[in-house]
Amino acid sequence: MPVISTLTEKVLVIAVVALMLLGACLAGYEKLQAQKAQITQLQAENQQEKANTAAALSAASAVAAALNTHTEVAAAGKQHYATSTASLASAAAANPSTVTVVPEAVWSAIYGSTPNAQ
């Protein structure tokens, strides 16, 4: 095993070791910076996904509310049609002399559909 004898050799060995340590520290620092950038990017993507999910849930809620309203309106329309038809039938039964044929255009304007469509 060679022995380092001169001061110049000792300084060179210390300088080489110091450069190796500095290189290792620099590589570690660059790796940490790359990980930091990756974490920042993932956090931004996570925030975007949260916003997209919130928007999708809001849209789904609006669609569900619209479907519920449509169902309620359709049920109310059927009930109105049934009530109107029953009222007209009872009026015609009570006073048959006043029964006239209602033109389809008038029926549609009042009830929204023809009697055959229900």
Render pLDDT for 11-69 as a digit per residue (tens, 0 to 9): 999 999 999 999 999 999 999 999 999 999 999 999 999 999 999 999 999 999 999 99
pLDDT-derived band at 118, boundaries 50, 70, 90: very low
pTM of this structure: 0.48
Between CA 56 and CA 63 the distance in angstroms is 10
Start-to-end C-alpha separation, the chain: 106
Between CA 112 and CA 79 the distance in angstroms is 13
In sequence order, which ranges of the chain are alpha helices (DSSP H)?
Answer: 7-94, 104-111
Distance set, CA 94 to CA 20, 51, 87, 99, 101 (Å)? 110, 64, 11, 10, 16
Judged by phi (left if over 0) then psi (alpha if -120 to 50, else beta), residue 112 lies in left
**Which pair of tokens denotes residue 17?**
């070791």
97-113 in b/e burial notation, b at 16+ Cβ within 10 A? eeeeeeeeeebeeebee
pLDDT-derived band at 90, boundaries 50, 70, 90: confident
Cβ atoms of 58 and 50 closer than 8 Å: no
